[in-house]
Amino acid sequence: MMFGISRKRFLAEVLSKSGFEVVATTNAVDRDVVGTAAGIFALQQGAGIIRIMWR
């Protein structure tokens, strides 16, 4: 399984619906930590490849 993540808007949407408004309203670059956590979670769930985008 491959998981692709970057500083995508969907992270902000998921966070806002989860009650983490402080992180949800940040700039894209400020969500890098959240993207990293999502990638680690994907690995724990069985992802074999993590695709990332750094600018």
**Structure confidence at residue 38 (pLDDT):** 85
Domain interval for residue 33: 2-52
CB atoms within 10 A of CB 34: 20
Give residue-wise pLDDT tens across range 1-55.
Answer: 888 876 667 777 777 787 776 666 677 777 777 788 888 999 999 999 888 776 5
- Count the domains in the chain: 1
Phi-psi region of 19 (alpha: psi -120 to 50; beta: other; left: phi over 0): left
**Structure confidence at residue 46 (pLDDT):** 92
**Structure confidence at residue 24 (pLDDT):** 60
